[in-house]
Structure 1
């Protein structure tokens, strides 16, 4: 096949079709009409001598040939985009780009208020869309461009991603003020006697319970929630205890009747990272945004 006579726009259509597995949704993704996408699919089938996508019930399933092309074509399109963007002069003051960032509610509560205040001053046209982040790195969404960045705590980061430390965090215990079992210092026996609320964040076991298990100990968890904000309000109006990231706990303690204690055992600190696709290291707009996320942290705005 002569690449110089091949319409490269057809590769964008094929990428969208393989991603959506639906002609109508692919058309919406590309801002094209459904007949235009159907026509492009017909041309692709003829040029590649393969059906590429076949209807199975209400869905379209890719053929083995299409599956073999999916990743190379997607990588090639992203490389072209990044190469072209690298030559652009990014001006944050006039940019109207939209970035999608996957974060936990902890990162959203701590990072986004000062970040949005900064963007309002220096880049008022930039828009952010937040996606909920599970404990697993959203590798596929980063690879295919659905997400620009992920910010959180990740144990395993594949080599194809770039990682930059955003924050180092510790844990504290939060109790309501005048809790019947609270004293000036929380000892391990006191901690184990408490009834606990656990913010699981999609995990099956957290740092605290892992340490306790290693010591042959166990706490009583009577309530679980995925949300730190709800956890703080519940603790402030009950006799439950919650282990929270220290900086978040200190913010909540300014707004709610909470008292904070150091953990009665040393878990050390844990790190939160900013993750992006390594190929986007030359994407000026994305690198500028990463710098802003880092700087609001370093500037003490948190």
Structure 2
């Protein structure tokens, strides 16, 4: 086992941690220096000091890249989280003024939730916080706990089965499902019942899941629908269904939006499913960040409109 020297914090330059974080992000000294607004020799010197004080190479050259060692990977998350916590603590010392703030907040969403949330939210922010920047990234089916812990994400908005206790979970809205087909679909001239539903050719918006609510219910009844096309994209799904004899099950609010734009008819599911919940989730200690708390209030406010 390699010897790791004891750390004497009284002699440790905490500025090195910012360099370490950026080197791990970029895995390139020149790019790290550029993002830190430092010279390349300054960053190289900082890396040498980090290696000496931590007793590990931290980054080793492999081709044109500098790859992190296991020791560096183990330190990456805790150091990034600590830096984020310091930034948030310092930020909370100031009064958050939405009208003048240039904060950047990063949110993970599915394209369905983005379509529901962002148009009214951006209209609201244009007036209340015109300089606030929102960066949206794609949300996978599982809660991205590591990205939230590291501070790479500020909050997420979606449907989650389990949320660890260290996170705050706030109900945003409840949603139901509708079946969408093109106008004049030949198999639904007399309405939609379970028999017709099972005879239809289905498009499934999977969102990275292995089984959705509809297929879970059907499996419990020893039934199965005919899925002939899958896509991760709700917008593409609606256009495909409007142009074919496929059908798709969509969240009700989204289905109504698409029906106002495309030649689609909407039908209730021919069986009962409980509404599903969409939650706003962020680390509990972030509730003291006034910018994040304010944005959460705005997201809840557009639901009430």
Q: Please, what TM-score do these two structures have when normalized by structure 2?
A: 0.91
* Aligned partner (choices 205, 210, 213) of residue 216 of structure 2: 210
Helix, strand or coil for the counterpart of 1:297? helix
Matched, 1:241 2:247: yes
Report the CA distance between 1:272 and its aligned residue.
Answer: 1.0
Relative to 1, partners in 2 of residues 1:132 and 1:278: Cα closer, same or farther, differing over 3 Å? same
In 2, Cα distance between equivalents of 1:67 and 1:238: 49
Closer/same/farther in 2, CA of residues 192 and 238 from structure 1, 3 Å limit: same
Name the CA shift for 1:251/1:222 in 2 (closer, same or farther; >3 Å).
same
Distance 1:161 1:146 in 2: 15
Q: Does 1:276 align with 2:282?
A: yes
Q: Unmatched 5+ residue regions in structure 1? A: none
Is residue 170 of structure 2 the alignment partner of residue 164 of structure 1? yes
Shift of 1:168: 0.8
* 1:152 matched to 2:170: no
1:294 CA drift (Å)? 1.2
Match of 1:262 among 260, 264, 268: 268
Quote the residue 2:137 is aligned against.
131
2:296 to 279, 286, 290: 290
Q: CA deviation at 1:5?
A: 4.0
Aligned residues: 299
- Deviation per CA, 1:169-194, whole angstroms, max 9, x where unpaired? 11010111211121454210011111
Residue aligned with 1:255, SS: coil
CA 1:203/1:68 → structure 2, altered by over 3 Å: closer, same or farther?
A: closer
Q: Structure 1's 28 and 145: CA in aligned 2 closer, same or farther, altered over 3 A? A: farther
Kept in 1, the 8 Å contact 2:80–2:151? The answer is no
My pick for the range that moved more, 11-20 or 129-138, is 11-20
Structure 1: 4+ residue segments shifted above 6 A: none
- Residues 72 and 236 (structure 1), Cα distance of their counterparts in 2 relative to 1, 3 Å cut: closer
Are residues 1:26 and 2:32 paired?
yes
Q: Offset at 1:46? A: 2.6
Q: 2:229 aligns with which of 211, 215, 223?
A: 223
1:146–1:29 CA distance, 2 compared to 1 (3 A) = farther
Corresponding residue number in structure 2 for 1:111: 117
Question: What pairs up with 1:168-207 in 2 under 5 angstroms?
Answer: 168-183=174-189, 185-207=191-213
When the two chains are superposed, the root-mean-square deviation of aligned CA atoms in Å is: 1.9
Compute the displacement of 1:64 (Å).
Answer: 4.8
> 1:5-35 deviations in whole A, cap 9, x for unaligned?
4321111112222344332343344333332
Q: Is the 8 A contact 1:52 1:63 kept in 2?
A: yes
Shift of 1:82: 1.9
Aligned residue for 1:88, secondary structure, equals coil
